[in-house]
């Protein structure tokens, strides 16, 4: 598919996102793209540019295993063409076989944005209608409002017990004047992200803009904190039931595997086999892995009591302490080897088994949620596309004629004269109109998007005609979408989700 793939943004725009890759550990989507079956055009065109841990989702798609997709919408205004990216991402994953969830973040809209319930109801309905009109299947998937979902709220309450206020200060800049409901809406959002796994753990992808990454990171962290039976805990004792012994062996295997990778620093190595723990909290995790409460919980759940044998590190663990741990594990391994023959179990399989054991004993066994990140659309007037600046965006509810007019008056990446444009070509990479083609108007047709791009940069395409074509396509899109919205009214009313007060 390489020959039809587009690189419309070139390396210059990618560099704007480099900081996200380097500082926050978001990975480039291109790395995982070859593993995705029938990738969506937003993936092929680099609009979805980054991910966090998308591999398990891609694997589930390839192997026909369970996975889920979830994203939420804050009903603070009209849904616009930027939101359509997320709608499309949810619907595409649903069509690939995922359990799909679309939620209305009404608690957040009320607490963080001060919207009235009346305004929220109206906008909620508009978001849901567009999601249905674009093809979300509510029979297969689930739509809900935070305020209506009791299971979600219970989960939020539980997650809240694993988070503390100083974290929120650090992550979200909360301070003494932050209202309490706002804090509550953050734990609710964490619960949203983990909600698809309430019944059973499964890979889950959250399609969002990169600005939402802090939520994803916190949710991944909380997912881990909720685990009470990590693979690493198994190794803390040799007195496991026979059935769980493979876990112990697997941990040792994994440790060896990672130790062989010379490029991986020692601490990173620990980070891998110590349940993806953040290095900063290395000490804490290790200490937690053998905490008394775990022993107690497992004993209560009817398992042989785990008696911690290793208690080396505390929260301020030093490199030397870490070395001591490694050495002790080696000692444990030698002793273990005397009892058990080699088991053929990968770390991932052992982790899976540990989740099953946890679920059997009343836990959630959450998997850390994955995420994908899409580029923000440039506003039609240049700068950021903003819900509060009508001319900068096209609402999915805009009159088709207004949509046409907005495209016609959009800024472009064109040169100052037609002559110069023929000579140097347009700057499609900087052109909001080209973005409309690539993100929306070309649909699945890569050839068409590429043609527009090539003609533009090659100087064959001039902005007047180009905008006229885009404006007409936009008018058609809006007409068609709004017709489908009308058709979806009945369907929405038949669903068990309130959109009227």
CB of 343 to ligand SF4, least distance (A): 59
Place of tokens 């009214």: 489
Nearest by Cα to 74 from 146, 143, 11, 3 = 146
The yes or no reply on residue 426 touching ligand SF4 (CB under 6 A) is yes
From the list 7-15, 98-106, 166-174, 412-420, the region that binds ligand SF4 by CB under 6 A is: 412-420
**Helix ranges, 235-346 (H):** 245-260, 266-273, 282-289, 292-300, 319-339
Strand order from edge to edge, sheet including 204-208: 27-28, 48-52, 370-374, 204-208, 68-73, 99-104, 142-145
Token code pair at residue 494: 């038949």
Scan residues 445-484 and list those touching ligand SF4 (CB under 6 A). 456, 461, 463, 466-467
Instruction: List the one residue from 431, 441, 488, 497 that touches ligand SF4 (CB under 6 A).
Output: 431
CB of 406 to ligand SF4, least distance (A): 14
SS3 call for 227? coil
Instruction: List the one residue from 6, 290, 433, 440 that touches ligand SF4 (CB under 6 A).
Output: 433
Which is closer to ligand SF4, CB of 148 or CB of 460?
460
CB of 409 to ligand SF4, least distance (A): 12
Residue 19 to residue 218: CA distance in whole angstroms: 19
Which is closer to ligand SF4, CB of 30 or CB of 405?
405
Provide the CA 252 distance to its chain's centre, in angstroms.
Answer: 31
Cα–Cα distances (Å) from 127 to 86, 186, 387, 488, 489, in that order, read: 11, 21, 14, 12, 12
From the list 164-172, 354-362, 427-435, 440-448, the region that binds ligand SF4 by CB under 6 A is: 427-435
Residue 135 to residue 93: CA distance in whole angstroms: 12
Residue 187 to residue 159: CA distance in whole angstroms: 7
From the list 158-166, 217-225, 257-265, 421-429, the region that binds ligand SF4 by CB under 6 A is: 421-429
Which is closer to ligand SF4, CB of 331 or CB of 464?
464
- Count of residues of this chain found to bind ligand SF4 when the rule CB under 6 A is applied: 14
From the list 37-45, 198-206, 238-246, 431-439, the region that binds ligand SF4 by CB under 6 A is: 431-439
The yes or no reply on residue 413 touching ligand SF4 (CB under 6 A) is yes
Which is closer to ligand SF4, CB of 252 or CB of 453?
453
Which is closer to ligand SF4, CB of 82 or CB of 414?
414
Instruction: List the one residue from 434, 446, 478, 497 that touches ligand SF4 (CB under 6 A).
Output: 434
Instruction: List the one residue from 103, 428, 441, 492 that touches ligand SF4 (CB under 6 A).
Output: 428
Which is closer to ligand SF4, CB of 186 or CB of 407?
407
How would you class 105 by CB atoms within 10 Å of its CB: exposed for 0-12, middle for 13-18, buried for 19 or more? buried
What are residue 41's phi and psi, to 5 degrees? -60, -30
Q: How much helix, strand and coil, in percent to the nearest 5, is found in the chain?
A: 60, 5, 35
Which is closer to ligand SF4, CB of 227 or CB of 461?
461
From the list 188-196, 258-266, 394-402, 406-414, the region that binds ligand SF4 by CB under 6 A is: 406-414
Nearest 5 degrees, angle CA 13-CA 15-CA 18?
A: 130
Instruction: List the one residue from 6, 414, 449, 473 that touches ligand SF4 (CB under 6 A).
Output: 414
Which is closer to ligand SF4, CB of 311 or CB of 422?
422
Which is closer to ligand SF4, CB of 76 or CB of 411?
411
CB of 467 to ligand SF4, least distance (A): 5
Residues sharing a CB contact under 8 Å with residue 115, sequence separation 6 or more, in sequence order: 75, 76, 109, 123
**DSSP β-ladder status, 142-145 and 99-104:** parallel
Token code pair at residue 4: 């039809």
Which is closer to ligand SF4, CB of 240 or CB of 431?
431
Q: Where does this chain bind ligand SF4 (CB under 6 A)?
A: 412-414, 426-428, 431, 433-434, 456, 461, 463, 466-467
């Amino acid at each position: 598919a390489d020959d039809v793939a587009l690189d419309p943004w070139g390396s210059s725009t990618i560099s704007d996102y480099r900081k996200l890759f380097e500082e926050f550990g978001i990975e480039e989507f291109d790395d995982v793209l070859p593993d995705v079956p029938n990738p969506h055009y937003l993936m092929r065109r680099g609009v979805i540019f980054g991910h966090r841990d998308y591999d398990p989702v891609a694997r589930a798609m390839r192997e026909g295993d369970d996975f889920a997709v979830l994203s939420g919408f804050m009903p603070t205004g009209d849904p616009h063409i930027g939101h359509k990216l997320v709608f499309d991402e949810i619907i595409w994953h649903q069509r690939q076989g995922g359990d799909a969830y679309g939620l209305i973040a009404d608690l957040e809209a009320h607490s963080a944005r001060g919207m009235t319930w009346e305004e929220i109801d109206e906008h909620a309905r508009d978001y849901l209608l567009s999601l249905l009109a674009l093809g979300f299947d509510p029979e297969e998937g689930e739509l809900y409002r935070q305020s209506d979902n009791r299971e979600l709220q219970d989960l939020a309450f539980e997650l809240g017990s694993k988070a503390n206020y100083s974290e929120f200060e650090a992550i979200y800049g909360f301070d003494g004047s932050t209202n309490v409901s706002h804090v509550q809406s953050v734990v609710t959002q964490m619960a949203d992200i983990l909600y698809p796994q309430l019944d059973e753990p499964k890979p889950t992808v959250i399609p969002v803009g990169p600005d939402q990454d802090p939520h994803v990171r916190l949710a991944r962290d909380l997912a881990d904190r909720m685990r009470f039976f990590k693979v690493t805990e198994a190794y803390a004792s040799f007195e496991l039931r026979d059935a769980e012994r493979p876990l112990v062996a697997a941990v040792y295997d994994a440790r060896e595997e990672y130790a062989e990778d010379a490029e991986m620093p020692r601490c990173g190595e620990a980070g891998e086999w110590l349940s993806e723990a953040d290095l900063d909290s290395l000490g804490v995790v290790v200490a937690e892995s053998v905490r008394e409460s775990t022993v107690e919980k497992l004993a209560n759940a009817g398992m042989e009591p785990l008696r911690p044998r290793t208690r080396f590190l505390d929260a301020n663990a030093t490199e030397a302490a870490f070395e001591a741990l490694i050495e002790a594990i080696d000692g444990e391994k030698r002793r273990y080897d005397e009892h058990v023959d080699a088991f053929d179990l990968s770390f991932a399989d052992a982790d899976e088994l540990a989740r099953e054991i946890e679920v059997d004993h009343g836990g959630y066994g959450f998997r850390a949620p994955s995420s994908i990140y899409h580029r923000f659309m440039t506003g039609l007037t240049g700068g950021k596309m903003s819900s509060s600046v009508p001319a900068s965006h096209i609402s999915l509810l805009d009159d088709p004629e207004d949509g046409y007019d907005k495209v016609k008056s959009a800024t472009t990446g064109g040169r100052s004269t037609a002559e110069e444009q023929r000579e140097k070509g347009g700057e499609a990479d900087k052109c909001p109109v080209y973005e409309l083609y690539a993100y929306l108007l070309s649909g699945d047709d890569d050839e068409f998007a590429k043609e527009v791009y090539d003609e533009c940069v090659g100087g064959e395409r001039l902005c007047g005609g180009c905008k006229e074509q885009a404006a007409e396509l936009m008018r058609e899109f809006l007409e068609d979408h709004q017709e489908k919205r009308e058709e979806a009214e009945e369907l929405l009313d038949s669903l068990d989700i309130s959109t009227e007060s």
